[in-house]
Amino acid sequence: MQEIKERLVQDLKSATTAEQVEQIRVDYLGRKGSITTLAKSADFSKMSVEEKKSFGQRLNELKNFATAEISAAVEAFKASAIRRKTNDLDLTAPGKGRRLGALHPITLTQMELEDVFQGMGFSVLYGPEVESEYFCFEALNIPGDHPARDMQDTFWLKNQLILRTHTSANQVRTLQRFGAPIRAIFPGRCFRYEAVDPSHENTFYQCEGLVVDKNISVANLIATMKTILSQVFKRDVKVRLRPGYFPFVEPGFELDLNCLLCGGKGCPTCGDGWIELIPCGLIHPEVLRHGGIDPKEYSGFAFGVGLTRLAMMKFGIKDIRYLNCGDLRVNEQFTTLV
């Protein structure tokens, strides 16, 4: 037994792998291992009671010793494997970056506009992109034969519905549903059959706004536009207001922004230094009537922010086509990670 014990200690010392320790366990404690064989080969019939007792006791001690030593060796190998792995870890190596999503510049601009308008008591509503001719045109004083239809040619579906050309399609839809007084904006995607250039896309975003209440005047409209622009650009920007014709407002205006890309000198995006950004005006009495509102009692203003162009001005994007191109490098440049 003493010999087995010494051999076991020696074997464990020279083991260099966990597999070798396992083999030692089999060699000593396995079914045919030396300790098991010793136990089986003992001829108890030739031993006195005292000898049997002493043999059994020492055999048990040997078994316990072998089991404990082998377990300790297994644990030691496990620990050293973990240590080896930890040593392989280079904490100074650059990490493997995980690509995070980023919001599109138009989405960021829309969210900001929504925040600013909500702060001024406007509700945010979203109308359908597939619209009826009635809400998109007829209810806005643009019957089928009106020349204004030429300015907003669109995509027609087989069922006489159309892809909306402007978010103004929400004006009468909303007035019919909620009545007056009301203060709401309608950001969303619009579609036009359009020759594409640096400032025109066939798919772009607008943000319509509508205020109907008692005694609403052009002064309210201008004050609202100024507040919005200063909050979105966080600095003073130069704008100009000029007459504009839209059959659904009277009077109607074009609010142009002095181009932030060229500083007003003129560039391929703006042309003459001014970029058409927010057409607006007082809502035409006939439109109010279509919405079920009495124009003698209520008046209101409406505006249609060119949301895509606003994003271009805000982020300094020179060509509108970058925004729909689907190249993630566009997002990564202009947006903060979310």
Smaller CB distance to ligand FA5: residue 206 or 331? 206
Residue-by-residue DSSP string for 83-127: HHHHHH--TTSPP-PPPPPB--HHHHHHHHHHHHHHHTT-EE---
Smaller CB distance to ligand FA5: residue 24 or 320? 320
Q: Establish if 246 lies at the interface with ligand FA5 (CB under 6 A).
A: yes
Q: Establish if 279 lies at the interface with ligand FA5 (CB under 6 A).
A: yes
Smaller CB distance to ligand FA5: residue 28 or 303? 303
**Euclidean distance between the first and final Cα of the chain, in Å?**
70
- 276-292 core/surface letters (b: 16 or more CB in 10 A; e: else): bbbbbbbbbeebbebbe
- 108-130 core/surface letters (b: 16 or more CB in 10 A; e: else): bbbebbeebbeeeebeebebeee
Smaller CB distance to ligand FA5: residue 171 or 331? 171
Q: Establish if 198 lies at the interface with ligand FA5 (CB under 6 A).
A: no
The alpha carbon of residue 278 and the mean position of all alpha carbons in its chain are separated, in whole angstroms, by: 27
CA distance linking residue 62 with residue 40, whole number of Å = 14
Q: Establish if 110 lies at the interface with ligand FA5 (CB under 6 A).
A: no
Contacts with ligand FA5 by CB under 6 A: the residue count is 24
Interface region with ligand FA5, contact rule CB under 6 A, candidates 75-83, 97-105, 125-133, 203-211: 203-211
CA angle (276, 277, 281) in 5-degree steps: 100
CA distance linking residue 314 with residue 260, whole number of Å = 8
Smaller CB distance to ligand FA5: residue 27 or 276? 276
Among 105, 299, 306, 330, binds ligand FA5 (CB under 6 A): 306
Go through the chain and tell me how many residues it has.
Answer: 338
Q: How far is the CB of 167 from ligand FA5 (least distance, A)?
A: 7
Who's near 13: CB < 8 A, 6+ residues apart?
none
Q: Whose CB is nearest to ligand FA5?
A: 306
Helix, strand or coil, per DSSP, at residue 204 = strand
Q: Establish if 173 lies at the interface with ligand FA5 (CB under 6 A).
A: no
Smaller CB distance to ligand FA5: residue 301 or 334? 301
Among 127, 188, 247, 281, binds ligand FA5 (CB under 6 A): 281
Among 105, 187, 291, 304, binds ligand FA5 (CB under 6 A): 304
Among 112, 276, 286, 319, binds ligand FA5 (CB under 6 A): 276
CA-to-CA separations, 123 to 186, 216, 332, in angstroms, rounded: 9, 18, 30
Footprint of ligand FA5 (CB under 6 A): 166, 168, 192, 194, 200-201, 204, 206, 208, 246, 249, 252, 276-277, 279-281, 302-304, 306, 308-309, 320
